Amino acid sequence: MTHIDAGAELDPVHPVPLPSPPTTGLSAAQVAERIARGQVNDVPVRSSRSLGEIVRANVFTRFNAIIGVLWLIMLFVAPFQDSLFGYVIIANTGIGIIQEWRAKQTLDSLALIGEARPTVRRQGTAVEIGTSEIVLDDLIEIGPGDKVVVDGVCAEADGLEIDESLLTGEADPVVKRPGDEVMSGSFVVAGGGAFKATKVGREAYAAQLAEEASRFTLVHSELRSGISTILKYVTWMMVPTAIGLIISQLVVKQHGFKDSVARTAGGIVPMVPEGLVLLTSVAFAIGVIRLGRKQCLVQELPAIEGLARVDTVCLDKTGTLTEGGMDVTELRTLDGHDEAYVRKVLGALGESDPRPNASLQAVIDAYPDAEEWRCTESLPFSSTRKYSGASFSEGDGESSTWLLGAPDVLLTDGDPALAETVRLNEEGLRVLLLARAERDLDGPDVAKGARPAALVVLEQRLRPDAADTLRYFAEQDVHAKVISGDNAVSVGAVAGKLGLTGTTLDARRLPTGKEDMARALDEGTVFGRVTPQQKRDMVGALQHRGHTVAMTGDGVNDVLALKDADIGVAMGSGSEATRAVAQIVLLNNSFATLPSVVAEGRRVIGNITRVATLFLVKTVYSVLLAVLVVCWRVEYPFLPRHLTLLSTLTIGVPAFFLALAPNKERARPHFVRRVMRYSIPGGVVAGVATFAMYLIARHHYTGTGALDAETSAATLTLFLISMWVLVIIARPYTWWRIALVASMGAAFLLVLVVPWLQHFFALKLVGMEMPWGAVGIAAVAAVTLELLWKWVDRRFPA
C-alpha cells in the first residue's frame, strides 16, 4: 500500500513528503556508454547443449571406446564382414547426434518465443527489451507476476510486495519501499514499481537462476539413472569375462591367431548394450521435436518422463480450465446504493490499478473512469488477502475508501448478501463485492466493518477443450484436482460444467497436518479459497501420500506449488515467474496440449522399458556364453559378423520401430527391476540353449569346415530364440508389429538361401539333422521362455 498522488509536494494535513515524480531512466548515450564498458547483462542463456557438447556426449562414451578399439583391431586382422559392427556404431552415433541437434534447434526457437522481455524505462519511455540487453543502472518496471531478473535497489513502489521464498525459503511476501534491496530470482506478488539495476551479468544471482531455468538439461530421471546402473553392472561383468575369454581363445589356437582374435572380439562386442543409451537419447529427442511442433517447450528433458509417471494433476481454474478473460454480466446494488454512483466507484477503482488482474480488467471494460475522482492511496490485489482497495478524493471534495474482492472474505457470516453470492456461485458465476471501508488502507484490519455496496457478477469463459482434456485424464487413470483461490462453490460449478465430478471443499476448513490433509485431498476433487502457501502444502501432502504430482498454473500464486510439484506446467501467457520455475511451458496456452505431453512421455518411457529387455537379453546371453566357453575351453561359437546380423535383425531395427510406437500405459517405477526380471531369465535360456546346440554340433561335425557348420547351427538356434523374445516383447500385436517380426525372419531366411550372402556372413547349414535339431532346441527354449516369464509375472509383479 502506498500513496500515489504525485501532484503535490506536501500533504497540507499530514506534512509528509510524497514520492517524487518517476525518473526517466537512462538516456541513449548513457546506455551506449555502459555497453562500451561491458556493463551489460550478457549472460548466455542457452536452451540446449551446444553442438560440441552433443557430439562429445554421443561419441566419447565408455562403450564406444571399447568397441572402437576392437573395431580397429578387427580392421587389421579380420575380413571386412567382421568389422561391420564398427560401422553400425558410427551410423547409430550419427543418428543420435542428428536427432539431438534437431531437438536443440526446436528448443532454441521455442525458448526464444517464451523468453521474458522486461520493461525498461529509457529517456522517459517504457520499452520491452531482452534480458540480455539490460545495462547497469537501468530502471526496470515490475508488476504482479514479474520476475526480478537482476539485482537492484527499489526506486519506486506502489504497494510493491515481493516473494523471496525461492531464495530464502520465507513464505511471507516482503513489502518493498524505495531504497530497499531487490534480489534477482524473487518475483512480484502484488503492486508494482521500478528498481535500478545494480548488478548485471554474472555478478547477479539471476545469472545462474535464469540460465538454469531455461536450459536443456539432462537432470535426474529414473530412466537415465536406471540405465546408468545397468551399464555399471554390465561393466563389472564384462571386464573379467572379457579377460577370461581373451586368454581362453588365445590358448585354443587350433584355427589360427587371427580367427581366435576375431572370435574373441565376437564374444566381447555383444556384451555392450550400446544401442540402449543411443535409443534413449533418440526417443527423448524425437519426443521434444514432436511436442515442439505443438508449441510445447520442454525446459528439462526428463520432464517428458516425469509427466508420464504422473497419477495426480492439480489444475488451477483461472487460465487453465477457463480462459483469462471475463465479462461483467450484472451489477446488483445493496443497501440502497445508487447504481450510477457505484458505477463511478468501479470505474475509479479500475483506473487506480496500473496492472489490473483479469477480474479488474473486466470491470475496467464495463465501467468508464470517473475522471473527476483522484486516487490518493491504493492497496493492490493480493491472492493472500483476496481483495484490493483504493482511497479517492471525489470531485465534490468528499473522500472515500473502497474495497473490491471476495464476498466471503469481506462479509461477516450471516450477511444476507452471502446467500445471494452462494446462489450465483452455484451457477458457475464469479462474484466480487464492492464495499465501503471505514478504516485506513494501511491499517491491519481494513476490511473490518466494511459496508457492502454492490455485487459485481462476472462470467468466466470456459476453455472449449477443457472438458475433453479432463475426460482424457479420467480415461488414463490420472486423478484431476482443481485447486483455486476462488469461491469453492463457484469453482465446483465450473468443474461440474466440464464433467468433473466429486466433492467440493473450502480449503479454509482443510486440516493442517500433512497426513490429514492428504486424506482430505484423496477424498475431494475441487478445492476453493486456496492460498498460495496452501497450494504448496497440498502438493507436498499428495507427494507424502505417494502420488506423482503435476501442477498447472499461470499466475504468480501458483509459483510455489509449481516449484515443488514433480512436474510444473505453465501457460505461455502466464507470469514470468511461473514460466521460470516450470519444466514444461505451453506456449500456445492450450490446456488441450497436456494429453499430448502425457502421451509422449508414456510412449517414450513405456517403449524404452520394452526394448531395454531386448538389449539386455543379448548382454546376459553374451556374458553367459563367454563364461561357458572359458569353462569348456572351446572356441567362441560366433564371429563378429554373425552377432552383427543377429543384433540388427532381432534388436536394432525392431527396437527402433518399437521405441517410436504409440504406448498409452502409465509409466511405473523401479525401471531396473522391471527390466532385469525379464532380461536375466531370457538371457540365461538363450545362452544355455545356444551353447548346448553348439556342443551337440561340435560332437556331430568333424573334418574340414566343421567349425563353420557348428557356428551356423548355433547361429540358427540363437536367432530363433532371439526372435521369440522379440515376439513376446512386440505384444500386443498390431498389423505393423506382425509385419515387422515377419520381415526380420524373412531377412534372415534370405541370408541362408542366397549364396553370396551365405559366403558374406559365413553361414551355411550342413545336412538336415543339426538344422532341425537347432529348430527343436529353439522351440523348447521358446516354451520355456513363455512359462518362465509367466512365472516371473506372478512371483515378481511390476
Annotated catalytic residues are 316
Cell numbers at residue 750, please? 534370405
CA-nearest of 119, 120, 122 to 26 is 122
Q: Is 429 helix (H, G, I), strand (E, B) or coil?
A: coil
Say how far apart CA 642 and CA 315 lie, in whole Å: 54
**Taking phi first (over 0 means left), then psi (-120 to 50 degrees means alpha), and beta for anything else, what does residue 683 get?**
alpha
Taking CA 476 as the corner, what is the angle to CA 526 and CA 732, rounded to the nearest 5 degrees? 170
**d(C-alpha 619, C-alpha 270), whole Å:** 6
Question: How far out from the chain centre does Cα 580 lie?
Answer: 13
Contacts of 712 (CB under 8 A, 6+ apart): 762, 763, 764, 765, 766
DSSP character string of 701-756: --STTHHHHHHHHHHHHHHHHHHHHHHHHTPSP-HHHHHHHHHHHHHHHHHHHSHH
Classify 745 in phi/psi space as left (phi over 0), alpha (psi -120 to 50) or beta: alpha
Residue 129 grid cell: 527489451
CA distance 179 to 438: 31
E strands in 107-218: 119-122, 125-128, 139-142, 151-163, 174-175, 181-182, 187-199
For 11, residues 6+ apart whose C-beta sits below 8 A from its C-beta are 5, 18
Return the C-alpha cell found at 690.
545356444
Across the strands, what pairs with 163?
187
Structure letter (DSSP) for residue 441: T
3-state class of 413 per DSSP? coil
- Around Cβ 168, how many Cβ atoms within 10 Å? 12
Q: How far apart are CA 296 and CA 582, in angstroms?
A: 12
SS (H, E, C) 609-631: HHHHHHHHHHHHHHHHHHHHHHH
Contact 247, 240 (CB under 8 A): no
Sign of the alpha-carbon dihedral angle for 637, 233, 93, 100:
positive
